[in-house]
Amino acid sequence: MKNKLVFRYAERKDVPLILWFIKELADYEKMLDEVAATEELLEEWIFDKNKAEVFFAMEDEKAVGFVLFFHNFSTFLGRPGIYIEDLFILPEYRGKGYGKAILNKLAQIAVERGCGRLEWRCLDWNKPSINFYLSLGAEPLEDWTVYRIAGNKLYELANPDRTGDGSVSCNG
């Protein structure tokens, strides 16, 4: 890295910047229309409820990348892990080693916190990122498929005794 890169944890005042990075990533992933996050939601869940953490990669006091992560737990390891939800470097700053620097920092955090692993997902079409992750020694998980329940299906699963008219039925 020619320019000095530093990391700065996000503060409450950074919520608009966090949302901007999320939208930039979503646009890159061709999923911008799926972003439902708002500044209010991010402030609540990141800063009020402490459900995720964010730090920025800073070059010359400018945020050029960000990562949003949180702890998960491995029952097999009996220890927490860190799950990377989003990692994004602005296109004009790629190729400078900043992505690797962010992953180095996350690995340090994981080791300091006693975590057993660092995990993330990557879209199958994103070959530049896949090649980058493989170059670091990351291994794709074989024989695992990610399943998701969201939106109305999540509500239905959470409320199995609700009928369509808003009443509740009891089935024994």
CATH number corresponding to 5-142: 3.40.630.30
Q: Taking the model in full, what pTM does it have?
A: 0.87
Residue 93 annotated among the catalytic residues of the structure: no
For residues 56-81, give the mean pLDDT: 97
Q: Is the pLDDT of residue 2 over 70?
A: no
DSSP string covering 28-92, please? HTT-GGG----HHHHIIIIIIS---EEEEEEETTEEEEEEEEEEEEETTTTEEEEEEEEEEE-GG
**Is 70 exceeded by the pLDDT of residue 12?**
yes
From residue 141, give the alpha-carbon distance in Å to each of 23, 70, 76, 106: 27, 20, 16, 20
In the chain, domain spans: 5-142
Instruction: Given the residues 28, 93, 98, 133, select the one marked as catalytic.
Output: 133
Question: What confidence tens digit (pLDDT) does each residue in 79-138 have?
Answer: 999 999 999 999 999 999 999 999 999 999 999 999 999 999 988 998 999 999 999 999
